[in-house]
Structure 1
Amino acid sequence: MKKKTLEQKQLLSQVKQIAEGLAQTFAPFTEVVVHDLLDPAHAVLAVHNNLSGRQVGDPATELGLARIMDPEYDQVIANYPNRFADGRQVKSTSIGIKDSDGQYVAALCMNVDLTLFQGFQSALNMFTAVEGTTPAKESLDPSGADAIRSRIDEFAARMAATPRSLKAEDRRTLMKELKSAGLLDVRRAMDTVAAHLGVSRATVYSDAK
């Protein structure tokens, strides 16, 4: 790794402060990551509101490497579609930070977990519905897993959280709601719940007690 100049160290320090402020403002549904592009093998310098599972010291992404190779690479790439490793839909923005020589020093990246907003949308649709009755849903049909995920998203939205950021107490309340709605009778319900919450099946069974 090339030795950093004082200017580059100051830039990295300032970007870390900006990232922390953004993360606190947009918690819990936006992950904010700081990349040190001067150390591509260990580029991840900070991760706030960790939604992707990335860790400090992880290597640079393809986008980071592209900036390292080409100082003329776009400095701002906003609102591009992305996905976390488990398939969750993400909206990402990446901002490259250059020093006075025009070299990329850092990248500030924001990853918005769209599942929370999909839950908001479902909740709003329910709230604005004007029909007097809602057709009964068969909880054992092939779409049962989708119904479970939708109910979890709606619950997390009410908690102003993402499914994966729910605390143990909230998960226990959620399990009671799922059981009351008959959704735990769906085939492989516990597997679906565990995957959507990002916890083990054992944790789900414990929360359901």
Structure 2
Amino acid sequence: MTPDLPSNQTLLNQLEQIAQGIGATFAPFCEVVVHDLLDPKHSILSIHNNLSGRQVGSPTTELGLARIADPDYPQVIANYANRFADGRRAKSTSVGIKDEQGRYVAALCMNVDLNLFGQMQSMLAQFCQMDNVEIKETLDPANAETIREHIDKFSASRSKAPQALKPEDRRALLAELKQAGYLEVRKAFSTIAQHLGVSRATLYNDVKS
């Protein structure tokens, strides 16, 4: 049966729009490639955030050939180890696209450069490294973190974010904090208001209600 060329072209055009969106979202870390598997010797139709050095018109990969040869080959292969031509490590995901007859006609492939993330991880590890000096100091003398943790637990028990608490919820929270003695802590109302995303005046009204 002759492939439905207009239908396949429409599919490829839509796939290209998806590739552009993914490429723009994950630039510059992720290479996004659209393959036309009906033309395996020149399968690459587009390549966004080119990390592999390939060009439009380059041939398909071994995975593409496997799909062409076997319609039952897995349609989605996610997060498999890969390498660019220069040896850089990559994490790849490949999605095969079938036509109405169940034949592979295209593929959308994403290749993430792990070396970039490795460098970022090393820099973050170095930045977060601390000398082993036995000094005890707290930058939270007002127990603000303890208050925030109490607010978070209270909010979670109601399946809400702290900023989404309604006035009746805030009144119940303030009653708990008062009973625990937290309202007597210096700058407690400032800490609570900031974490809830309301003004101190609003909290004072809640306490009076």
**Aligned-partner Cα distance in 1 for 2:34–2:105:** 11
In structure 2, the partner of 1:15 is: 15
Give the counterpart letter for 2:39 in structure 1: D
- The residue number in structure 2 matching 1:126 is 126
User: Where does structure 1 differ by over 4 angstroms across 4 or more consecutive aligned residues?
Assistant: none
Superposition pairs of residues 76-91 of structure 1, within 5 angstroms: 76-91=76-91
SS of residue in 2 equivalent to 1:57: coil
Alpha-carbon shift at residue 3 of structure 1 (Å): 5.9
Q: In the alignment, what sits opposite 2:43?
A: 43
1:47-82 superposed Cα distances (whole Å, 9 cap, x missing partner)? 100000000001111100110111110000000000
Q: Which residue of 1 aligns with 2:171?
A: none
Tell me, which stretches of 5 or more residues in structure 1 are unaligned? 134-209
Worse-superposed segment, 88-97 or 2-11: 2-11
CA distance in 2, matches of 1:118, 1:5: 43
In 2, Cα distance between equivalents of 1:132 and 1:28 = 37
Residue 19 of structure 1 aligns with an amino acid whose one-letter code is: A
Deviates more, 1:84-93 or 1:123-132: 123-132
SS at match of 2:60: coil
Q: Percent identity?
A: 64
Q: Which has the larger radius of gyration?
A: 2
Structure 1 residue 125: Cα displacement:
0.6
What residue number does 2:107 align with?
A: 107
Structure-2 residue corresponding to 1:95: 95
Paired residue type of 2:48: H
Aligned pairs, number: 132
Which amino acid in 2 is paired with 1:120?
A: M
Query: What are the Cα deviations for residues 100-150 of structure 1, in whole angstroms up to 9, with x where unaligned?
Result: 1111110000000001110111111112111179xxxxxxxxxxxxxxxxx
Structure 2 match to 1:72: 72
Separation in 1, partners of 2:3, 2:46: 20
Letter of the structure 1 residue corresponding to residue 116 of structure 2: L
Runs (5+) with no aligned partner, structure 2: 134-209
Q: Report the Cα offset of residue 5 of structure 1.
A: 2.1
The correspondence of residues 1-209 of structure 1 with structure 2, limited to 5 A, is 4-131=4-131
